[in-house]
Amino acid sequence: MTEGGALGPAGVLRSFSRRADASAIAATTVLFLAFSLGTANFLSSFNQFNVWRAASQNVFIALGQAMVVLIGGMNLSLGAIGGLSVVVIGHSMEVLGFPPFLAIGLGLTTGLVCGLLNGFFISRFRLNSFVVTLASSFIFQGLVNGISQGRPYSKIPPSFTLVGKGELLGIPNLLLLVVLALVLVHVAFRYSVVGRQLLATGGNAETARLSGIKTGRMVLLANVLSGLFASLAAVLWVSRMGTAQPATGGDWLIVSFAVTVIGGTALSGGTISAPGFLFAGLLMALIRNGLIMLGVNVYFEQTYLGCIIMLAVMVEYFRTTVTGKARKL
Amino acid sequence: MLEIQSISKSFPGVAALTDVSVDVRPGEIHALLGENGAGKSTLMRIMCGLLKPDSGRMALGGRPLFFEDAHDAIESRISIVHQEIQVVPLASVAENIMLDKLSAFRRGPFLDWRRLEEEARRYMGMVGLTVPCQTAAGTLSAAQKQLASIARALSSGARVLLLDEPTSSLTLHEARTLFALLRRLKAEGVAIVFVSHKLEEVLELCDVVTVLRDGRLIGTRPRQELNRDAIVEMMIGRSMRDAHRGFLPVRGGAPVLEVRKLKSEFFDGLDLALWPGEILGLYGLVGSGRTELARTLIGEYPYSGGEIRVRGERTRIRSVHDALHRYRIGYVSENRKEDGLILGASVTTNIAITIWPKLSGLLPGFLSPRRELEKSREMIARLEIRTPSPAQTVANLSGGNQQKVSIAKWLVAGCDILIIDEPTVGVDVGAKAYIHELIWRMASEEGKSVLLISSDMPEMVALARRILVFKQFRIVAELADLNRAQVANEEVGRRIGACLA
């Protein structure tokens, strides 16, 4: 940073490159321009609507992962919690005939309870989050299959899709929600006592505890938040699709980690970058959408996705080497 | 033997070494001294091939040396034993010693374990490491790991041995064993370069002293020509005598902290009282129970019997959270890097971490960043923490300034009982004097009560006005007269030594 705010072009570039989310922002911008120029229909309002909705969905999924990543943990049961919430929502409306609001409440409660369970085992018995959430992912997935018997719930009232399919002034509601959520996350982790204590716990749990922070509670809270974001993503998923598919959540794990890491939240914990999520979420959506637009064989989609994630990580590596500020991944 | 000629090295923004020349001769123990940031580590890293100098030459026995990496240095029989002792914890001691030359023990595609262990045992015998060679290295004590590291260096045929603060994690007794070994190696013609912050051991052990300051060579002089004061003067560029600081106005009446018949996993009926405005020293060897007591007092370790009273009130402290928010007790940890600081976070975060709940802003549960910054600036000024800005990452500060930050977080929280564990480990001479002054002022001017844990005898004598001597989790003696009459350092040392014998 130079004094007086008068930054030359080089200065702007330098201070930009120091941002943890710089590569996500740069890569997303480049890809967006490339697809705009390279394909005819990419910029059509229909396509844009879908891309941004998918991006928003990715962000909510990633926030579920980020809540535990920032305390240095992980949640392998994220997708299973999402799937279970979807099934609970579908089941309560189609089979039990509950109104949408009650279904949403039950869906969110599902996420909360699942997160509470994960957090309880991790914090009370000081177990590794990898092991605990690996085990619980099987438990939750089993419930998904058992309750739904593998069949989708399609009798979702049209009112349920107002949020997921609707728009305001041409902007998808989902995107508005995501922006709101990210602003809240940003403010919470910068200015709230609990947010700062969560980050401190992720930065160094021993130090945090020896500084008077109840780190056990922080671990519990992070896992509850993780479960809540997973079920929130599930509610929006049903709202966007208009059906409740038990298969929902199958690819959430990879998406959640990819968006979190590309967005500039270190896997070692202690940091979070709210704007990074939006760009990284969009990046993932763009890749999927762009590949279809370009007429690439969709069966290979994951390979391209993997290559681009790898590329993003490499860009990140060179960025940190060049700016000389190594970030722990 | 090892000649360093006009070596210079810069990093972006800093000249770490400027035109430094040193000559290390065989059969001598050569102390390399300087404050933190003086360039000792850089020089050591250049000598063992971890860094390449920008200019200058190195030669070994007249032959010029060019290192591409650390492996080249080992080939040239120069080995380093790092400060942070590096072993593969799950591998055996023998494996650890032979780690860098496993290929020498190949038999076909397999390892010839018998030969490897035989060879390892030979070097273990040389350094006096008496554990079975199949022991997992992770189970060794710090001293034993150190010996294993030296055995590894020797097994590479080291003729020049670089030791970076080898005693920082050793007890007094273990350090003695190490010194005996170094003297033996010296007699065998090994050249030893020895970096340490403990001047007493330098004076005891070394033959030649080289001092660096701000990346420049201040001088290389034989040990006989120097005493402690002369070395300190070379290191910090001015003379500094430890004058007696006077006496503390300890208030009588009720003790501010009282431990009665404490029973726990560690202690069997321990008693202790701390009066307001007092600096009470807990002296003892590493592992004598002082840190365990500190951690019991702050609720980290449970106790089963007896009681702890704070300001007369019987307490039940279950966590640091209780100790801090209910009883205003602060604990400055002995390992600031492991559990005293969040190294990746800013100075402000590390200072204000204890008071976030009190910095409420407009909304409940939210803190005011303006007040947080104010508090942080206030402490930076009060403790003269040298940092470019409050937002600076703590990892980038020097050891002394990091230590000030880890003290600041308790001062900002208004703690008036402070438990300070080894406050100046890895802190350079100048910052050490400042931290001593700070602890003294907290007690003498602000009336704070301090439990000072230290294994550094001069530090203990300089600050504590009453000393409890710990041995095997018991208090074996009390030196209660230090606040009445000035007792010479040597006298205190002698009396404590007599208690520990």
Concatenating the DSSP letter of every residue in B12-61 gives: TTEEEEEEEEEEEPTT-EEEEE--TTSSHHHHHHHHTTSS--SEEEEEET
Q: What is the pLDDT of residues A179-230, one digit of tens each?
A: 999 999 999 999 999 999 999 999 999 999 999 999 999 999 999 999 999 9
Cβ atoms within 10 Å, residue B12: 5
Q: Is the pLDDT assigned to residue A327 strictly greater than 50?
A: no
Query: C-alpha angle B60/B66/B68, rounded to 5°?
Result: 135
* In the predicted structure, residue A89 carries a pLDDT above the cut 80: yes
- Token pair, residue A182, equals 């990210």
CA A185 to chain centre: 12
**Is the pLDDT score of B226 beyond 90?**
no
Torsion region of B198: left, alpha or beta (phi above 0 gives left; psi -120 to 50 gives alpha): beta
> Chain B partners of A206 at a C-beta cutoff of 8 Å?
338-339
Average pLDDT over residues B195-201: 84
Average pLDDT over residues B179-197: 90
**Residue A233 and residue A11: Cα distance in Å, rounded?**
39
Identify the helix (H) or strand (E) that includes residue B236.
helix B228-236
Residue in A closest to B12 by C-alpha:
A324
Would you say residue A30 has pLDDT above 70?
Answer: yes
**Interface mutation vs chain A, best among B353, B354, B394, B407, most A CBs within 10 Å:** B353
What does the buried/exposed string (b/e) look like for B305-342 if buried means 16 or more CB atoms within 10 Å of the residue's CB? ebebbbeeeebebebbbbbbbebbbbbbbbbbbebbbb
Residues of A in contact with B356 (CB under 8 A): 193, 196-197
User: Which residues does A contribute to its contact with B (CB < 8 Å)?
Assistant: 190-194, 196-197, 199-200, 203-204, 206-214, 270-271, 324, 328
B82-122: pLDDT as tens digits: 876 678 888 899 988 888 788 888 888 888 888 889 989 99
Question: How close A214 gets to chain B, by Cα (Å)?
Answer: 7
Determine the Cα–Cα distance for residues B187 and B223; give it in Å rounded to an integer. 17
Pull the structure tokens for residue B7. 């070596």
Q: Pick the residue from chain B with its C-alpha nearest to A326.
A: B344
Residue A253 and residue A77 in contact, taking contact as beta carbons nearer than 8 Å: no
Cβ of B357 under 8 Å from any chain A Cβ? yes
Q: Is the pLDDT of residue B19 over 60?
A: yes
Cα–Cα distance for residue pair B57/B53, rounded to 1 Å: 8
Q: Is A327 within 8 Å of A320 (Cβ atoms)? A: yes
Measured between beta carbons, the chain A residues lying within 8 angstroms of B349 are 196, 200, 203
Chain centre distance of CA A65: 6
pLDDT on residue A325: 46
Report CB contact under 8 Å: A191, B369. yes
Is B458 in CB contact (< 8 Å) with chain A?
no
Confidence band (pLDDT; 50, 70, 90) for A1? Answer: very low
Chain B CB contacts of A191 below 8 Å: 361, 366-367, 369
Classify residue B135 as left (phi > 0), alpha (psi -120 to 50) or beta: beta
- In the structure, what pLDDT confidence band is assigned to residue A323 with cuts at 50, 70 and 90? low
pLDDT at A328 over 50: no
The minimal CB distance from B367 to the residues A196, A204, A211 is found for A196
How far apart are alpha carbons A310 and A317 in whole angstroms?
10
CB contact under 8 A, B343 and A204: yes
Dihedral of CA A55/A56/A57/A60: which sign? positive
Top residue of A15, A70, A198, A207 to mutate, by most chain B CBs within 10 Å, is A207
**DSSP string computed for A282-299:** HHHHHHHHHHHHTT--GG
Chain A residues touching residue B339 (CB < 8 angstroms): 204, 206-207, 210
Q: Give B-chain residues touching A271 at CB under 8 angstroms.
A: 344
Phi-psi domain of A162 (left: phi exceeds 0; alpha: psi -120 through 50; beta: other): alpha
Going through B275-327 in order, the beta strands assigned E by DSSP cover 279-283, 305-310, 313-314
Pairing verdict, β B449-454 and B279-283:
parallel
Whether B333 contacts chain A with CB within 8 A: yes
User: What does the mean pLDDT of chain A come to?
Assistant: 86
- The answer to whether the complex's ipTM is over 0.90 is no
- Residues of B in Cβ contact (< 8 Å) with A193: 356-357, 359-360, 365-367
Residue bearing the bigger pLDDT, B124 or A328 = B124
pLDDT at B240: 52
